[in-house]
Structures are given as C-alpha cells and as structure tokens.
C-alpha cells in the first residue's frame, strides 16, 4: 500500500483539475516565447481548452469515470479559491497598473500559486505542492530582476504541465 492508494477517491476533482492544468500549462509555456499579447492569447487558449476538456469530459463521464462525486465541501473550497484569486488579482492590478511590468507578471504567477494552496484541500497534495513551487518560482523571479521574467513564466507553465499530468496519472492508480 502506498500514499497514492485511495487518493483519487479522496480527491475526485484531482483528475479534471490535472487535465485543466496540463492545458493551461501548455498555453503558458508557449506564450512565454512571445510578446504580452502573445502570452495573453495563449493563456486564454490554454484556459479555454482546459475548460472544454473538463466540460466534455464531465458531460460524457470520461474525466470522472470510476470516481465518486466530490463532496460539497470540495466544491466550496474550489469556489473560495477562485474568490481569493479574483480578489488578489484585483489588488495586483491596482498596485501595478503597468500590465507589461515584470512585477505585475511575477505577482500574478504568485497569486495563481497561492490559490493552488487553497485548492490542495479539494484537489490533493500534488496541487498543494504545485502551489509551493509556483510561489517559490515567482518569488525568485521577483528577486532576480536581471533575468527575463519570461523564463519564470515558462518554468511556471512547465510546472503546471508536470503537476497536472501527475494528478491525472495518480487519479488512475
């Protein structure tokens, strides 16, 4: 028996969340190689594909096959995580109105990581670990001002792809 046994049953949102992370992570990673507009286009495309995967997978039961229904508290945690993220994004937008600034993008990465910490309660320990490494990546990016922030953007995308893939894989164990 390993720590993986029963994780999918305990965290049924993990599989769909992991699939979403892979899609948005790919969008972030590809977007890291272009301008701000390119980053935003690919970020939106990744999110749209992730939402489509979850919608189609949920409607056809492909994503959630063999999993129990999530508990109501897991849905509440998901909602709280989105509300906290939305509030923190509004704080950053007010604090850093220059949407091209390094600080703006690094704090956005940090905020997304922070909301994964909350999601760890509903999506499992891989999501919580992703939170810590994403926040650390963003903090390093804030401290190393000489490095192109797109490096940290690309690292963030790769972290999301890896964690998302792990969440999907573990959900089948």
How many structural domains comprise the chain?
1
Confirm whether 48 is domain-assigned. Answer: yes
Q: Does residue 145 fall inside a structural domain? A: yes
Tell me the C-alpha to C-alpha distance, in Å, between residue 151 and each of 99, 102, 156. Answer: 17, 11, 9
Q: pTM of the entire structure?
A: 0.91
Residue-wise pLDDT tens digits, 117-134? 999 999 999 999 999 999
Please report whether residue 2 resides in a domain: no
Structural domain including 111 reads 7-170
State pLDDT tens for residues 127-158. Answer: 999 999 999 999 999 999 888 889 999 999 99
- Give the tokens for residue 15: 């599989």
d(CA 151, CA 127): 22
Answer whether residue 28 is part of any domain. yes
Contacts of 151 (CB under 8 A, 6+ apart): 32, 141
Residue located via tokens 């650390």:
136
Within-domain flag for 1:
no
């Amino acid at each position: 028996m390993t720590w993986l046994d029963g994780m999918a049953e305990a965290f049924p949102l993990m599989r769909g969340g992991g699939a979403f992370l892979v899609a948005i992570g790919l969008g972030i990673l590809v977007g890291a190689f272009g301008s701000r507009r390119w980053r935003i286009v690919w970020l939106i495309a990744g999110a749209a594909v992730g939402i489509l995967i979850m919608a189609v997978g949920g409607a056809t039961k492909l994503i959630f096959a063999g999993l129990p229904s999530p508990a109501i508290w897991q849905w509440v945690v998901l909602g709280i995580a989105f509300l906290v993220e939305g509030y923190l994004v509004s704080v950053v937008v007010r604090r850093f109105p220059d949407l091209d600034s390094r600080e703006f993008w690094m704090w956005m990465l940090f905020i997304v990581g922070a909301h994964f910490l909350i999601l760890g309660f509903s999506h499992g320990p891989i999501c919580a670990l992703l939170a810590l490494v994403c926040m650390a990546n963003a903090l390093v990016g804030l401290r190393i001002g000489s490095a192109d922030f797109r490096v940290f953007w690309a690292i963030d995308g790769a972290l999301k792809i890896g964690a998302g893939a792990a969440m999907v894989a573990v959900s089948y164990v």
